Chains A and B, each alone.
Chain A
Amino acid sequence: MSTKSSAGILKQFRRKVLSNWMLYLFVLPTLAYIVIFHYLPLYGIQIAFRNYKPARGIWGSDWVGFKYFIKFFNSYNFYEIVRNTLIISFMEMLMFPMPILLALVLHYTPIAWLRKFTQSVTYAPYFISVVVLCGMVVAFFSQSGIVNQISLKLGGQAVDYMNYPKYWRALYVGSGVWRQTGYSAVIYIAALAGVSPELHEAAIVDGANRMQRIWHIDIPGILPTIVILLILRCGRVMSVGFQKAYLLQNDLNLEVSEIISTYVYKMGLQKGQYSLSTAVGLFNNIINFLLVISVNKAANVLTGSGLW
C-alpha cells in the first residue's frame, strides 16, 4: 500500500516537474551553486579535528580530536577576544534600525530630487573599499586630521583618537554605519513601497499624523522584512568582519580591537595553523547557528514572522 502511495507521489512529482520544467531549469544554476560552493566544501570541516598538513591533504592528516578547540579555549586572551567580539557585534546590532530610519525619512521626503540626491549620497560610501575606508578613518581622526582641525577651530583640543581604546569601538561601528546604512536601506525602501496606499489614505481621513502612520502602518507593513533581516543579522553575531578590525588595529587599542577573526588571522593563517582557524570558524558558526534558531523561534512567537 505504502509502496503504491510512494510511487504515486513520485509520479505526481515527475508530472509537476515536467509541466513546469522551465521554472525548474531556472532554479537549477542556483541549486548547483549552493550544492557545489556551500555544501560540498563542508567536508573540509574535518580539518578542525585533524592536524592538517597541506602536503598530506585532508584525508591523510592525522585525527587529533578536539585539540584545536581546547587550544583556542585555553589561549590566554580567550575571554578578552570573545568579549570584544560580542561587544562590537551587539553595538552593531544597536545600529540595526539606522537603515530603517533612513528608509522612512526618504520615503516621506516630498521633494523628489532631494530624496534621490540623499539616497545617492548615502548609498555611495558602500562602494568605497574597506581598505580605503580605514585609511580615511585613520587620516580623519589622527592628531592632524580634519576632525581635530575642526575641533581646534572651535576651541577644542586635538586628540589622536587612534591612540585611545575608548574611541575605537565608536569609530569601528560609526564608520560601518556610514558605509552600510544607505545600501541596507534599499530593501526597506522597497518594502515601504509595497505598503498599501489605501491604508495611509484611510489613516489620513481618520486624522492620523505622520508619526502615527509610520508607527501603525509602515512599521507593521515592513515588519516581516525587518524580522527576517534581524534573524539573519543574528546569524553573524560571532563573525565580526576581520578586515576593518585588523586595519584599524594598533598596539594601543588592542585591548578592545583584538577580536576572534583577527586572532585567528594572527595565530592561524599567518602561522599556517589551518586546523586552529577551522576549529575557531566552526565554533563561531555553531554559536551563530544556535542563535539563528533561537531568534527565529522567538520571532515566530512574538511577531508571527520568521525564516521558517
Chain B
Amino acid sequence: MKRTIAILLTAILLLCAAGTALADGLFPLSEPMTFSVVVKQGAQDLSTDYGEKKCYQELSAKTNVVIEWMPFKSTSYAEKVTQMIAGNTLPDAFAGGSFDVVNNYEVLLDLTPYLEEYMPNWNRYLNENPLIKDMLTMTDGGIYCLPVAAGPNDSGKGLSIINTGMLYVNDTFLANYLDGKIPSSIEELHDALIIARDNDINGNGATDEIPLLACNNYRGGLDDMFRFFGVPLYTSNYTAYTDETQKNVEFIADKDNYKEALTVLAKWYEEGLINTDVYSMTYDDYSTRFYEDSSMVAFCINYCPDMCFKDGLSNWTPIVYLENGDHEKLVMSHSDFEALEGMAVTTACKNPEVLLSFIDAINDDFETWAQWRYGNKDEIWCYAEDGEHYYTYLMGAALDSGLAYGKYRQTYSAHLNGLSYGGIYELLKLDDPKTEVKGAGRAFFYKTVADQLDDATIHYTVVRHGYWDADQLEELSDKETEINTYCNRFKAESIVHGITDETWNTYLSTLKRMDVDGYLDLFNEYLTRND
C-alpha cells in the first residue's frame, strides 16, 4: 500500500516537473562526467566525506555525473571562496552561498539561458515565486545564483516561526509550580519568573535557579521578548516591513513600545529574573549548560530545539506569544527564503548544462528531493499511512545513532545549499501520533506552534537580499552596520544597567546624527529598485 502511494506521489511530482533531464534522456550519460563543487558544510554536519551521502550516491548512479565535493566549514567558507576567486582557481560550482555575488558575478555563469531547457524544476519554482526571482536578478538582467529557499510560508504557517528563537518553558517546572498552565500574558510570565527565582526548582538545596536563560550570542538572546510588546525585532535587525508587500521598511528601535520593552526587561534583570551573563555568555557556555543540567532553568529562549541539544529539548514547550495590553500579537517568521546565494556555477565549468541538469534533477521527484533535503528515507522521514503526507522524526538507524534530529539531518542530507528548494510543507503530517515524541523530530514543535498561533500576526523578517548597484549596496551595508552596532550597544546597556529618559533621549539624538532617516530612504529605494 505504502509503496503504491509512494509511487503515485512520485508520479504526480514527476508530472509537475514535466520535461526533466532524466525524463528527456540527457541522463544517464554514456561516460562519467566529473565536476568540482565547493560546498558549505553546516555547523552540525558531522560527515567527513560529502560523497558518502546516500542522496548523492543514488543520483550519481542514475545520472553518471560524478561530483568531487570540496566541503568548507561554514566559518571559513566565505574567505576560502574569495581566495579561490582571487587566485583564479575556480571550481565548477559553489554551493552554500555567503559569497559576494555582486562583486564577483563576472566569474559566475548567467543561468537564465539554461533555466528553461535544463532546469525545468527551478524554472517553474522561480516563475511561481516572482519576488524571489526579482531579488535574484542582477542589474544586467542575469541570474547568477540559485537561492537557499525555504518555500512559501502561507502553506506552512508556523513552520518557519520557530527558526527565529522562541521562549520555552521547562515542563518539570510547569508541572510542579504552575499546575501545567502555560503563562498566557506578560504579567503571568513575570509571576512565574518570580516563583522560579524564589523556589528551589531543581531541588538541590542551592540558590542556582535561573528564571529566564538567554544568550545574546545565540539567536539574538532576549530579542524574542520584544515581540510581546509589539516590536517585530529579530536578531538585532532594527527595521521591519510596514506592510505585506515587503517594499517598505520602518525603523523600530526608536518607538515608544521599544522603550517600554527595554524598561520592563531592565526591571526584570534588576529583579534577578534574567541570567546576569546574558550579554557575555558564549554559545558554547549556553549549550553546555543544557547538555549538563538545565533543571535549574525555568524559561529559556532557544532556537529550533532539535538542532542544538542532545535531548532535542524534550522537556521544553514553546510559548508562541503572550498577551500584553493593547500590543499587537506578533510572531516572527522567515521570509520566503533563507538566503540569496545558494548555488552558482562558475565560468570555469565546461559543461554547465550537464551540471545544471544534475542539480535540477534533485527536485525531479519527491523521494529524491526528500533524501537531499532531510536525509535517508525510513531513518529521518517516511510516508504517513494516508500516503498523502510524510512525517519527519528519528527512527531506526537514526535513532540508534544517538544524534539529535538536526545533527543527523545535516550529516546525512545535503541540507540547505541551494541544491534543492523547499516548500513541500503542506505535505508534512503534523498530527501523526509518531511525531508527538518530543525531541525525536521537529514536527511536534511545528504542531505546537501552529496550534498556538490563533489570531497572531505573522511578521516576516526583513531580508536585505537582492542585487543593486555595488556602491549603493556598500553604502547601505555600512550605514546598517554602524546603526545596528549602536542599537545593540544601547539595548544591552539599557537592560543591564537600566534606562532613563535622559539616556533614551541621548540615544534618539545619536540615532538622528547617525542619519537613520537617510538609511531608511536608501533601504526603501533599494526595496523598490525594480518597480
Q: Given known contacts A54-B86, A250-B216, A251-B492, is B280 in contact with A135 (CB within 8 Å)? A: no
Q: Given known contacts A53-B103, A54-B85, A55-B106, is B482 in contact with A77 (CB within 8 Å)? A: yes
In this assembly, does A143 line the interface, its C-beta being within 8 Å of a C-beta of chain B? Answer: yes
A interface size (C-beta, 8 A)? 30
Decide: B514 and A76 in contact? CB cutoff 8 A. yes
Stretch from A185-193, A205-213, A265-273 at the B interface: A265-273
Decide: B277 and A160 in contact? CB cutoff 8 A. yes
Report how far A162 CA is from B496 CA in the complex, Å.
Answer: 11
Q: Which of A55, A160, A267 contacts B104 (CB 8 A)?
A: A55
CB-contacts of B462-515 with A (<8 A): 474, 477-478, 481-482, 485-486, 488-489, 491-493, 496-497, 513-514
Residues of B near A57 (CB, < 8 A) are 86, 88
In this assembly, does B100 line the interface, its C-beta being within 8 Å of a C-beta of chain A? Answer: yes
Decide: B280 and A160 in contact? CB cutoff 8 A. yes
Decide: B492 and A250 in contact? CB cutoff 8 A. yes
In this assembly, does A254 line the interface, its C-beta being within 8 Å of a C-beta of chain B? Answer: yes
With both chains docked as a complex, state the minimum distance between the C-beta of A228 and any C-beta of chain B, in angstroms. Answer: 36
Report how far A233 CA is from B104 CA in the complex, Å.
Answer: 39
Report how far A54 CA is from B514 CA in the complex, Å.
Answer: 31
Chain B 273-301 near chain A by CB (<8 Å), digits 1 or 0: 00011011110110000000000000000
Residues of B near A77 (CB, < 8 A) are 482, 485
Residues of A near B285 (CB, < 8 A) are 138-139
Among residues of B, the one whose C-beta sits closest to the C-beta of A267 is: B481
Report how far A54 CA is from B281 CA in the complex, Å.
Answer: 36
Chain B 257-282 near chain A by CB (<8 Å), digits 1 or 0: 00000000000000000001101111
In this assembly, does A122 line the interface, its C-beta being within 8 Å of a C-beta of chain B? Answer: no
Q: Which of A53, A163, A271, A272 contacts B496 (CB 8 A)?
A: A163
In this assembly, does A305 line the interface, its C-beta being within 8 Å of a C-beta of chain B? Answer: no
CB-contacts of B365-419 with A (<8 A): none
In this assembly, does A5 line the interface, its C-beta being within 8 Å of a C-beta of chain B? Answer: no
Decide: A135 and B282 in contact? CB cutoff 8 A. yes
Decide: A56 and B481 in contact? CB cutoff 8 A. no
Task: For chain B, give the interface size range.
Answer: 35 or more
With both chains docked as a complex, state the minimum distance between the C-beta of B91 and any C-beta of chain A, in angstroms. Answer: 14
- Is chain A's binding surface mostly helix, strand, loop or mixed? loop
Q: Which of A55, A135, A143, A162 contacts B103 (CB 8 A)?
A: A55
Decide: A53 and B482 in contact? CB cutoff 8 A. no
Decide: A267 and B106 in contact? CB cutoff 8 A. no
Decide: A251 and B481 in contact? CB cutoff 8 A. no
In this assembly, does A105 line the interface, its C-beta being within 8 Å of a C-beta of chain B? Answer: no
Chain A 251-274 near chain B by CB (<8 Å), digits 1 or 0: 110110010000000110101111
Report how far A56 CA is from B513 CA in the complex, Å.
Answer: 37
Decide: A252 and B492 in contact? CB cutoff 8 A. yes
Report how far A77 CA is from B474 CA in the complex, Å.
Answer: 17
With both chains docked as a complex, state the minimum distance between the C-beta of A272 and any C-beta of chain B, in angstroms. Answer: 4
Residues of B near A274 (CB, < 8 A) are 82
Among residues of A, the one whose C-beta sits closest to the C-beta of B280 is: A162
CB-contacts of A131-166 with B (<8 A): 135, 138-139, 142-143, 160, 162-163
Report how far A143 CA is from B105 CA in the complex, Å.
Answer: 49
Decide: A54 and B103 in contact? CB cutoff 8 A. yes
With both chains docked as a complex, state the minimum distance between the C-beta of B276 and any C-beta of chain A, in angstroms. Answer: 4
Report how far A251 CA is from B481 CA in the complex, Å.
Answer: 14
Decide: A272 and B280 in contact? CB cutoff 8 A. no
Report how far A254 CA is from B496 CA in the complex, Å.
Answer: 14
Can you list 20 A-B pairs, Cβ within 8 angstroms, ordered by A? A53-B103, A53-B106, A54-B86, A55-B105, A57-B86, A75-B478, A75-B482, A77-B482, A138-B282, A142-B277, A162-B280, A251-B279, A252-B280, A252-B489, A252-B492, A252-B493, A252-B496, A254-B485, A266-B485, A267-B481
A71-B478, A76-B514, A77-B482 known; 13 new pairs, CB 8 Å cut-off, are: A54-B82, A54-B86, A55-B104, A75-B478, A76-B513, A138-B282, A143-B277, A160-B276, A160-B277, A162-B279, A163-B496, A250-B492, A252-B497
